[in-house]
Structure 1
Amino acid sequence: MTPDDRRPSRVNWIVRRVLRLFAAPRLDIREDYEKVRRAQRQLAVLPPSRYRALDVEIMSPDGDHPIPVRVFHPRERRRDEVLLFFHGGGWVTGDIESYTPACATMADLTGCVVASVDYRLAPEHPFPAGLDDCLRVAELLLADPSRASAAATSEVVLVGDSAGGNLTAAVSLALRDRGVRGAARQIMLYPVTHWDHDPVTSPFASVRRHGGDYRLTNTEVQEYFELYVPDPAARAQPLVAPLVADELTRQPETLIVTAELDLLCDEGEAYGAALQRAGNRVTVHRVDGALHGFITLPRFSRSLREAYDVINAFLDGDAPPSSAEASG
């Protein structure tokens, strides 16, 4: 099945109109990213009593800057795994402050310790700065999980949403290429895996179907890329667009969760298919009727609860067969 052959969304036109009311304002990310950062932090404030967290710092390999990491403890720890989380925001917005509610929810709903990485952002720090920070933290925690207030025997699972899902894939590829121990498992939520989001040239139907409305637009994604990787010729490389990688063997067991009404839906599922073809164990689950960014929604959200049902099954080792027919 090709992306263009896939059955159209079952969401009716009334629901679609309501969903469009929640679409992101049409900003020029290149000019307004600082405003977006401030707004995200203001919207994400949680009383300290709502979560248990510890802030730590990991130094970069050359010692020229610290990498902040916020470690969230669940109210009831039910699993030994540490979820090493890379936040979304197009590599330009988002941080451990704006993602504190989402990470507190992640800790409570999985029963795992969650370590959120405050990697450097573009345009102040373009590619590969953010990836380098994520790699540094991943290498150290994989070697010694106790750095995240966990038992030394705890398994570290890589997790990321959107641009953070992209970083998750890139970290796993880079660790393999370095000959360094990688994670046994990884979870990507509506990840960016390709570099082209122009509806005229993109190979994915979801870019054309959902790139002009709802939560995220193709214009915004392209603007994020311009800030993250200013040189267009440098975007079609595996550590920026993992789907173009020629070699995808020896990757962690993977869960990819996509959102039906997200322009990134098809490329996320295509990455799952590519990983499967390379011999990796992969589960792909599409959340019907969901918008991009649903992991940051309140805990009562249907999309969020469905995603965590799948995540918990994956962590328990009994994830269901892929519920989305991956394209590509």
Structure 2
Amino acid sequence: MSPAQNALDEAAARVLAFLQQAGAPKVHELPVAQARAVFEAMAPQLDMPPEPMAEIADRTIPAPGGERAIRLYRPRAGMAGAPVILFFHGGGWVIGSIATHDRVCRRLAAAAGAIVVSVDYRLAPEHPFPAAVEDVLAAFAWAGKEAAELGGDPRALFVAGDSAGGNLAAVAALAARDGGDLPSPAGQLLFYPAVDLAGDYESRRRFAEGYFLEQQTMKWFVDKYIPDPAAREDWRASPLRAGDHRGLAPAFVLTAGFDPLWSEGQAYAKTLEAAGVPVTVSDWPGLIHGFLNMGGLVPAAAEALDAAGAWVRQQLSAKD
């Protein structure tokens, strides 16, 4: 698919100018440890103010590679029977953490009136594919069993994530459809997801440089996550390449017009629609990849998360 000819949003332009003036290094030019440190340091400089929560709790849960950290967000007290959103952070499967996406999770919890559970999955290259998938599915199974204990409704469990986290959320939804000990999600929220690691798309070429996520950075991420190019065809790496998308949970797919991943996000939405899956597309034509983490300079970040929260509420009211 081809992105439309849109004007770059003024707020997005301010972010790009800020990063240039600050001398922000390109992720793909850094050693992994330094790339992680830069992302951790940059996140609070760009992000929106923290939404107040009634409770934030750090816990650990069992996973194939050992205990993994999670962070629970409860926007208000007395939330018996609330929806639960399992959130997987972005960062190319290599960088990012619960901390880098803290404010995104806060805003999403408040907007949806939901308990958000942010998951710290294993990162590449120390833990390449499919380690992250294994951790995500373990967290999903755990959430299905523990949702009621958390004060949530196990029938109102959503999976969500941005970028690489959107990839993992889409994979979780596919895995749940195919059975096992996974719960059936009420919906999937995919924020500018990477859904085809083996494909070539016009938006990747058009926005290869200069718009935050660059083509070389994406290659750096994928090479570290899945060194074997043949393995990138696996649906657990590229959910767009799954053989069958029928019967999946309703989807909220958010895309940004100046994002190298725009084309595949739009393609995934159309693939789901063609398979009979209810899909809501939230396209932000003038914005760049990662803008949800830039709410300090990009007002649309809060608007977009509020729209995602409203969609969660709509899914639940439609079931009543």
TM-score (structure 1 length as normaliser): 0.84
| Counterpart residue number, 1:324 | none
- Structure 2 Cα separation of the partners of residues 15 and 186 of structure 1: 28
Give the match for residue 196 of structure 2: 194
Task: Determine the C-alpha separation between the residues in 1 that align with 2:298 and 2:312.
Answer: 21
SS of the residue 1:81 aligns to: strand
TM-superposition CA deviations, 1:278-300 (whole Å, max 9, x none): 11111111012111111212367
RMSD over equivalenced CA pairs, Å: 2.9
Q: What is the CA-CA distance between 1:84 and the residue it aligns to?
A: 0.6
For 1:44 and 1:23, the matched residues in 2 are separated by: 12
Q: Which amino acid aligns with 2:83?
A: E
Alpha-carbon distance between aligned partners in 2 of 1:122 and 1:50, rounded to the nearest angstrom: 32
Moved more, 48-57 or 87-96: 48-57
Partners of 2:107 and 2:306 within 8 A in 1: no
- Counterpart CA distance in 2 for 1:77 and 1:106 is 18
Mind listing any 5+ residue stretches in structure 1 that lack a counterpart? 320-328
Indicate whether 1:243 and 2:279 are aligned: no
In percent, how many aligned pairs have the same letter?
A: 32
1:291 paired to 2:292: no
What does 1:1-328 align with in structure 2 at a 5 Å threshold? 3-4=1-2, 6-11=3-8, 18=14, 20-22=16-18, 25-27=24-26, 29=28, 31-44=30-43, 51=53, 52-61=55-64, 65-75=66-76, 80-147=82-149, 149-153=150-154, 155-179=156-180, 180-196=182-198, 202=200, 204-298=201-295, 301-317=298-314
Counterpart of 1:232, as a letter, is P
Quick one: which amino acid aligns to residue 278 of structure 1? A
User: 2:178 aligns to what SS in structure 1?
Assistant: helix
Letter in 1 for 2:240: L
Q: CA deviation at 1:94?
A: 0.7
Which runs of no fewer than 5 residues in structure 2 stay unpaired?
none
Name the SS of the counterpart of 2:56 in structure 1.
Answer: strand
Structure 1 104/316 Cα, relative in aligned 2: closer, same or farther at 3 Å? closer
Post-superposition, which runs of at least 4 consecutive aligned residues in structure 1 deviate over 4 A?
Answer: 14-19, 22-26, 43-51, 75-79
Range 206-215 or range 114-123, more displaced: 206-215
Q: C-alpha distance in 2, partners of 1:190/1:49?
A: 22
Contact 1:193 1:241 in 2 (8 A): yes
The whole-number CA distance in structure 2 between the counterparts of 1:229 and 1:262 is 22
Answer with 97-106 or 135-144: which moved more: 97-106
Q: In the TM superposition, what whole-angstrom CA distance separates every residue of 1:253-298 from its partner, at most 9, and x where no partner exists? A: 0000111111111100100100111111111110121111112123
CA distance in 1, matches of 2:130, 2:172: 11
Q: Which moved more, 1:248-257 or 1:299-308?
A: 299-308
| C-alpha spacing 1:31/1:108, structure 2 compared with 1 (3 Å) | same
* Residue type at the aligned position of 2:35: V
Q: 1:41, CA displacement in angstroms?
A: 2.9
Q: Secondary structure at the match of 1:159?
A: strand
- Report which stretch shifted further, 212-221 or 41-50: 41-50
Give the Cα–Cα distance (whole angstroms) in 2 for the partners of residues 269 and 48 of structure 1.
Answer: 30
Q: Distance in 2 between matches of 1:171 and 1:158?
A: 7
Q: Alpha carbons of 1:28 and 1:116: their partners in 2 closer, same or farther (altered >3 Å)?
A: closer
Amino acid at match of 2:17: L
Aligned residues: 307
For residue 17 of structure 1, report the CA deviation from its aligned partner. 6.0
Counterpart residue identity of residue 31, structure 2: D
Cα offset, 1:16, TM superposition: 7.8
User: SS state of the match for residue 146, structure 1?
Assistant: coil
Task: Give CA-to-partner distance per residue, 1:91-130, whole Å, 9 cap, x none.
Answer: 0001112222222222233322110000000000001111
TM-score w.r.t. length of structure 2: 0.86
- Give the whole-Å Cα distance in 2 for the aligned partners of 1:26 and 1:299: 20
Q: Secondary structure at the match of 1:250?
A: coil
Secondary structure of 1:143's aligned partner: helix
Secondary structure (helix, strand or coil) at the match of 1:97 reads coil
